[in-house]
Structure 1
Amino acid sequence: MGIESQYLGEINIPEEHRAEYAQQALKLLRAGSMVTVEPVQLYGHKLYLLSPPELDEEDGKAVGHYNYLDENSGEQWCLNAKDGWFGCGKIIGSCYYSTIAAVHILTTLWSNSYAATLINGCLVREKTYIRWINYVLGTQYTNQRATQLWEIGKLLQLDDAYWVRCNPDLGYLLEDYPPECADRDHASQSWEMRRGVTAEAAFIRSCSTPGLAWEALADYCLEHSDELDELAHTSTAWAGYPDDWAAASDELMDELLGVLL
């Protein structure tokens, strides 16, 4: 029993950043109630000593398999500070799940190469976990990286497009951008930059059902209706756009993509 976690793409954390990454990962593991278990003997009784995970001085690794809030064990996880990597076997328990997912996401944030987190073959929706990461670490990470649709699309094509079939609907990524946890730099992004994300709806349409894709695009239009109105008024290619973006037809959505692309 249990569910599996893995990366989609390669993890490549620069050597000079691995020590800081490992300390952040350890902090998340401790905050998520992960502990190491050491059997001890006391007056002829076998006891189990629980302690916060620490990196071994010789091999630079920390390992564990028990979560004291879940009061349950999963398969062993391993944090490797020397190689800049984190992995885990099967996950059992809600706190175990959330903590493992968060450390996987932190690992992808540190990676120079683009990667994403999969649990049971499905892309993890990152923004909730990143809020918790920022709370624990005092950082200002955002999930902007997790909404880069073209990069995600290239990863999903790996293994003969197997991951596309596991993740048929990516419409929620439009809803996740801009991220609610964005810092001021991301929150103040110009309309020109946001246009690039909307333009990528063409890729979403190919990976999800048309109805869900257009629904997500309509939500985006509603959120940015003022900017779209301004764009529509200045575009000779646009005519008769509706006051209610949610009621837009597929033909009008096609026209929207044509103007924004």
Structure 2
Amino acid sequence: MKSRPLRRRRSGMALIAVLWIVSALSIMLMGLVHNLRGEARLAGQSRQIAEAAGLGDAAIHIVLQAMMARTLQGQRQQRLQVVPVVYGGRDIAVEILPLNGLISLNGAGAPLLAQMLTGAGMPQNAAQALAQTIVDVRTSRDAQGAARNFEATEDLLQVPGVDYDLYAKIAPLLTADELGGDRVNPMAAPEPVLLVLSGGDAGKAAAIITQRASGAVGIDTTGLMGEFIENNAATQRFRLTARIPLADGGAAVVARSVNLSPSVRDGMPWHTYRFEQRLREDTAAY
């Protein structure tokens, strides 16, 4: 009589064990399905980004060819300009940015760097001190006696007093191009740089942007800080950026930094010295 309840207890325990195993397998299966779906989404997204980046780079080369043709005719690109390109059935905007429209990390003097840092929210005294530190770092000498300079804007993060939040604000305004001068071409300057040059006067910056986009000549720049600007200065170095909208509302961004001089390496009529590709534009606000 006692063996029958014992068998029932054993059967009940076995049933519980089976249910636990089934539950565990179900959880494992759900996790596997979730991972597979995630991997499929990532694969589809990667393929979409790769295709968009290819279209963007093709659009950049189309614009480069047109720029080179104009340059050979004596018509140099001196202004920031957005060129609409249709390629592969897509509308692609390509921005041409002459690099002398940015603040040169290796050429700008301490006063201009301090003005930029003040615009980024630093107190004036702290901005002046940090600007001088930046100049001191780039002009220090290596073992061979050559100036160290900054090879990339990211090198700023190694400067005492520059944290990531500050870097994110000022990086879009800067170039580490070693040929950069100590002044800025306002006709090529993006809005954040114009805000620096205008002492934070958004109205003055907007007026220049509007006139520049309309193709106006003789744009009045007297409202900018004259000691920091050089109007219509020529350069051979440009950053071309293509933005390709994606189905999810984001954008693939492709950028080439080029020198419009023949490349000995590949025989191209221009030399690409930096190539960038990212999923979305940086959202750092100045």
User: Could you state the TM-score of these two structures normalised by the residue count of structure 1?
Assistant: 0.26
Decide which structure has the larger Cα Rg and report it: 2
